[in-house]
Chains A and B, each alone.
Chain A
């Protein structure tokens, strides 16, 4: 949580988040049918930096435990593809992109924590197309908070939460945060319409 955040509501507890990920893992498994045996060759999870990466890894772990399917997990940073680089005084830090398999012909599940304006997702689609030519891309998010600026839909959603522009959604994960869960917060310095919450 940021220092200036005023918590308005907790949207998910740690337990809720766990249950949501269990359900999402099942939805991904349903996508892979009927050729479950070859799913590892036909599908891939791609987590968007930063929290999408941990969520994608957790989903892959669940799918492995539940169905013994080993799905490759890629890491994608979309900073190079963002459309707001020229609007910023300081350039955002570029983080790792690592896709361990050829995406061409694969069904990709793109994983992020929050869907908001759609601009980050658009950047991710541009990046994926430069890295290969996936057979399909589905968009998975823990929270879809609305306010799209582009015609981009989420396919697998933990929870749809109508929000106000001054509010932000914080997904916090124990791997990198000091707490676990999802919160709706009001912040005195909203990042505006051109960037998503993460």
Chain B
């Protein structure tokens, strides 16, 4: 996708990446442009550049995560930053230490940047107010997952010319999805149209205020879509009465090979991990128009771009 250089800043005018609400289209385009260049590094024989030598990144994951944690760790490593890793299990959090104390102890080890995943919405915002480190939100409760949205729009941009007028449908549990929330922000900022689709129990009331269209009929969503993004059904929510059964959910909201045949240009995305046979039929996961693995690769490139653009300097440009 060609970016509009006139609207793209030459550097990121933000200290943290907490969510995308205050990121302009130009800011997002700068991240995507930077990520594309880092993406090409990942295709080289030597997949490492010395860019962030001397920077230390703390990966603080207070919530289970596999791919996001691996992706951030790899991104920091590819930039030659040093990383320290923290997981809630087996840590002093179990002994009653507060989030602020845990963070301050880790920062006392002289970390420059903190990547944080936490089950409480706003945890990264809170830490940004009480510590000096640069904060990157790797998912906070149902609130935001900005790097997931950025990697999603980067992946879309590889297949389209412009976001203007692009139609994207997000299918599933919108209420509990930080991915959906951040994607809506990114896509609306870039000029795309967004349709949300799922059972009534999974769509928050009055979410149309975000400038999205809502439907409870998958066919209606697919008819208007260039790209469809299925969200992972959290199997533990089966007991909450949000939907009768996984089979019924699949029958009403699962994307099947018949859907793919009926919409020959439709691209399918999924933030992973996929419940095969629930959100997507088994064959759809492996379909040539399913671009799920590109999302994973682009995740590393986007996180490299975010770490690079937010990495703190020691002095101002004016002092150079």
State whether the Cβ of B157 lies closer than 8 Å to any Cβ in chain A: no
Judge if A174 is at the interface, Cβ distance under 8 Å.
no
**B89 at the A/B interface (Cβ < 8 Å)?**
no
CB pair B308–A77 under 8 Å, yes or no, is: no
Chain A residues closer than 8 Å to B41, beta-carbon distance = 80
Rounded to whole Å, the gap between the CB of B72 and the closest CB of chain A is 18
A90-B317, A91-B311 in contact; A81/B50 too (CB < 8 A)?
yes
Tell me whether B51 is interfacial, beta carbon within 8 Å.
yes
Q: How many of chain B's residues touch chain A, expressed as a range?
A: 20 to 34
| Complex contacts, B316 vs chain A, CB 8 Å | 89
Q: Which of B1-52 contact A (CB under 8 A)?
A: 10-12, 30, 33-34, 37-38, 40-41, 44, 46, 48-52
Is B90 an interface residue when CB atoms closer than 8 A count as contact? no
Cβ 8 A contact of B308, one of A91, A95, A97: A91
B159 CB to closest chain A CB, in angstroms? 20
- CB of B54 within 8 A of CB of A93, answer no
Known A-B contacts A80-B49, A130-B44; A87 and B11 likewise in contact (beta carbons under 8 Å): no
Task: Give the nearest-CB partner of A127 in chain B.
Answer: B49
CA A192 to CA B309, docked complex, whole Å: 23
Whole-angstrom distance between the alpha carbons of A91 and B41 in the complex? 18
| Secondary structure call for the A interface | loop
Are B320 and A90 in contact (CB-based, < 8 A)? no
Residues of B contacting A31 with CB < 8 Å? none
Instruction: State the interface size on chain A (CB cutoff 8 A).
Output: 27
B11 touching A93, Cβ below 8 Å? yes
B51 touches A195 (CB 8 A): no
B183 at the interface (CB under 8 A from A): no
Q: Determine whether A131 belongs to the interface, using a CB cutoff of 8 Å to chain B.
A: yes
User: Is B320 in contact with A94, judged by CB distance below 8 angstroms?
Assistant: no
Residues of B within 8 A of A189 (CB): 318
Contact A92 B37, beta carbon cutoff 8 Å: no
Q: CB-nearest residue of chain A relative to B54? A: A86
Report whether A88 and B37 are in contact in the complex, using a CB–CB cutoff of 8 Å. Answer: no
Report yes or no: A90 in contact with B311, Cβ–Cβ below 8 A. no
Contact of A88 among B12, B34, B313 (CB under 8 A): B313
Given A80-B41, A80-B51, A85-B52, decide whether A93 and B34 contact each other with a Cβ distance below 8 A.
yes
A86-B55, A91-B311, A195-B320 known, 12 other contacts, Cβ within 8 Å: A80-B51, A81-B50, A81-B51, A82-B51, A86-B54, A88-B313, A89-B317, A92-B11, A93-B10, A97-B37, A97-B40, A130-B49
Residues of B within 8 A of A (CB): 10-12, 30, 33-34, 37-38, 40-41, 44, 46, 48-55, 308-309, 311, 313-318, 320
Q: What are the 3 A-B residue pairs with the smallest beta carbon separation, nearest first? A: A90-B11, A80-B49, A89-B313
Q: Could you list 17 A-B pairs, sorted by A, with CB under 8 Å? A: A80-B49, A86-B54, A86-B313, A87-B314, A87-B315, A87-B320, A88-B315, A89-B313, A89-B316, A91-B311, A92-B11, A93-B30, A94-B37, A98-B40, A131-B44, A189-B318, A194-B320
Chain A residues in contact with chain B, CB under 8 A? 77, 79-82, 85-98, 126, 130-131, 189, 191-192, 194-195
